[in-house]
Amino acid sequence: MESPVVVITGASSGIGEATARLLAGQGARLVLGARRADRLDALAAELGGEVRTRATDVRRRDDVAALVDLAVSTFGRLDVFVANAGVAHVGGLDTQTVEDWDEMIDVNLRGVLHGVAAALPVFRAQSAGHLVAIVSTSGLRIVPDQVVYAATKNAVRTLCEGLRQEAGPHLRVTAVSPGFTATEFVDTVADPARRREYQERMAEIAMPPDAIARAVAYAMAQPAGVDVGEIVVRPTAQN
Ligand SMILES: NC(=O)c1ccc[n+]([C@@H]2O[C@H](COP(=O)([O-])OP(=O)(O)OC[C@H]3O[C@@H](n4cnc5c(N)ncnc54)[C@H](OP(=O)(O)O)[C@@H]3O)[C@@H](O)[C@H]2O)c1
């Protein structure tokens, strides 16, 4: 596909930012969303070319719809929606708060559904389109302290398989499961000791985020009739 039009949520850091960098280098036209608009604008200025940004909270349906509208009004179409924005609260079910669970459900699951609600009608009208969801290996090997996070990611995995079956011959759906990836993801762990533990482990074994960007680019690069359903990418040192 020449110069695909790609929306990426959570493009202000980590995997979303790395995906924006890689795809921009390959000639994609990008619409980037996240809450930290200053970071999106700095990235867009650095990338140059055809990049638009919009402050977006994926918990708000209207924000995500506006991101898709921006792609269509600027570039005339939407080829790929990368549902990447995500949050994790780690800790046991005894100690986590219902607010922690609500935020993970609202961002990781409801946020992706807002993307489907906005992008699917455009994909249907074009008879083409590709949803890429960034899920997690936390949903493949379930470990303590990441239970609700894993549940939200596996809900999205289920959504992807269901959408794939409903999609018909023209749409593509890909779930990418990263293992431990060096991003800002663990910087928000509330407990300082746990945060340090995760950050040290990240420095020790995590993959650079462009490992996941390449997986997204691989799924996108397949011919229209080829649908890459699942990609799992882990650091070799991860259990
Ligand atoms: N790092 C890992 O080890 C790992 C492993 C498996 C899966 N993942 C998944 O990879 C995805 C990207 O995470 P990352 O590792 O790149 O971490 P990150 O650097 O913390 O990036 C997370 C991104 O999500 C955005 N975000 C968070 N809440 C949002 C909201 N309500 N609305 C819009 N954007 C929001 C953040 O932007 P703002 O704060 O500016 O809104 C940021 O751009 C997530 O879905 C995560 O679950 C990460």
**Three-state secondary structure along the chain?**
CCCCEEEEECCCCHHHHHHHHHHHHCCCEEEEEECCHHHHHHHHHHHCCCEEEEECCCCCHHHHHHHHHHHHHHHCCCCEEEECCCCCCCCCCCCCCHHHHHHHHHHHHHHHHHHHHHHHHHHHHHCCEEEEEECCHHHCCCCCCCHHHHHHHHHHHHHHHHHHHHHCCCEEEEEEEECCECCCHHHHCCCHHHHHHHHHHHHHHCECCHHHHHHHHHHHHCCCCCCCCEEEECCCCCC
pLDDT computed for residue 214 by the predictor? 98
Closest ligand 1 atom to residue 57 Cα is 32
Q: Is the CB of 183 under 6 A from ligand 1?
A: yes
- In this prediction, residue 2 has a pLDDT band, given cuts at 50, 70 and 90, of confident
Distance of CA 8 to the CA centre of its chain: 7
pLDDT computed for residue 146 by the predictor? 95
Out of 75, 149, 180, 185, which one is annotated catalytic? 149
How open is the CA angle 18-154-136, to the nearest 5 degrees? 30
Minimum CA distance residue for ligand 1 atom 25: 10
**Statement: residue 172 has pLDDT above 90:** yes
Number of structural domains the chain divides into: 1
Distance CA 185, CA 103 (A): 15
Distance CA 1, CA 122 (A): 17
Ligand 1 mean position to 107 CA, how many Å? 9
Could you tell me if residue 237 is inside a domain?
A: no
* Residue 11 buriedness (CB in 10 A; 0-12 / 13-18 / 19+): buried
- In this prediction, residue 157 has a pLDDT band, given cuts at 50, 70 and 90, of very high
- In the chain, the largest separation of any two C-alpha atoms, in whole Å, equals 51
pLDDT computed for residue 190 by the predictor? 87
Q: What is the CATH classification number for the domain harbouring 181?
A: 3.40.50.720
Which range of residues forms the domain containing residue 98? 5-232
Number of neighbouring beta carbons within 10 Å of residue 137? 20
Active-site residue, 149 included: yes
Q: Which residues of 54-63 are buried (b: 16+ CB within 10 A; e: fewer)?
A: bbbbbbeeeb
**Statement: residue 9 has pLDDT above 80:** yes
Number of neighbouring beta carbons within 10 Å of residue 105? 16
Mean confidence (pLDDT) of the chain: 97
Could you tell me if residue 38 is inside a domain?
A: yes
Could you tell me if residue 30 is inside a domain?
A: yes
Q: Which residue has the tokens 């596909």?
A: 1
Percent of the chain with pLDDT over 90: 96
> Average pLDDT, stretch 44-53?
96
Ligand 1 mean position to 87 CA, how many Å? 6
Q: Which residues fall within 8 angstroms of residue 168, CB to CB, at 6 or more apart?
A: none
Could you tell me if residue 144 is inside a domain?
A: yes
- In this prediction, residue 1 has a pLDDT band, given cuts at 50, 70 and 90, of confident
